[in-house]
Amino acid sequence: MNIILLGPPGAGKGTQAKHLTNTFGLKQLSTGDMLRAAIEGGSNLGKQVQLIVDAGDLVPDNIMIEMITTRITRADCAGGFILDGFPRTVLQAETLHEVLSLKKIKIDHVIALDVKLDSLLGRIRNRALEAPEDQRRQDDDEKTLKHRLSVYKEQTAPVLPYYEKLGVLKTLDGMLTPDEVSKKINEVLAE
């Protein structure tokens, strides 16, 4: 089973990815982790990524897709994977679909966590307060969150209709408790 989790920052994608990993044995794939691993691995791709990141630029879609498709063909993804917060644009979604189709890999479910954007700020504040200082995320501040929400609305939210047309999108109420959201996800996966 291969799943994509979508939703704005603070919607609970990471929490639900952990639930899916623990419950179904799926491998959670984070693009940030993949970028760091590529750089640390010193491969040609990693060297390319290092130059891009050092310049302060965003890693181009073609490199991200190459990293993801290389990663999901590893043995630990044979039982299924979760893409947490990727794709972020319609172009990325279309390209990912094309590349996965060539590899005979399909996305079984796209789960979007729908949350009230005005309540996310409170969630992010709580997450920052509850985390030990040395484990706080640098992007857990009001200014960064507002920017990330704006980017989500402009670039990522349009991905939802794309997956709806493919018949794999299920939107769930992300305002429920994490346990209630997990239960709803389990129900979707059992359909």
Give the model's confidence band at 138: pLDDT under 50 very low, under 70 low, under 90 confident, else very high: low
User: Quick check: is 36 catalytic?
Assistant: no
Q: What is the mean pLDDT of the chain?
A: 86
User: Quick check: is 125 catalytic?
Assistant: no
What burial letters (b/e) apply to 115-153, b meaning 16+ CB within 10 Å? bebeebeebbeeebeeeeeeeeeeebeeeebeebbeebe
SS3 content of the chain, % helix, strand, coil (to 5): 60, 10, 30
Spatial distance between the Cα atoms of 59 and 49, rounded to a whole number of angstroms: 7
Active-site residue (options: 74, 103, 137, 146): 137
Question: Average of pLDDT values for 52-71?
Answer: 81
At residue 119, the 3 state secondary structure works out as helix
Active-site residue (options: 27, 88, 123, 184): 88
pLDDT, tens digit, for every residue of 74-120? Answer: 999 999 999 987 898 899 999 999 999 998 999 999 999 998 877 77
**Residue among 32, 2, 5 nearest 17 (CA):** 5
User: Quick check: is 47 catalytic?
Assistant: no
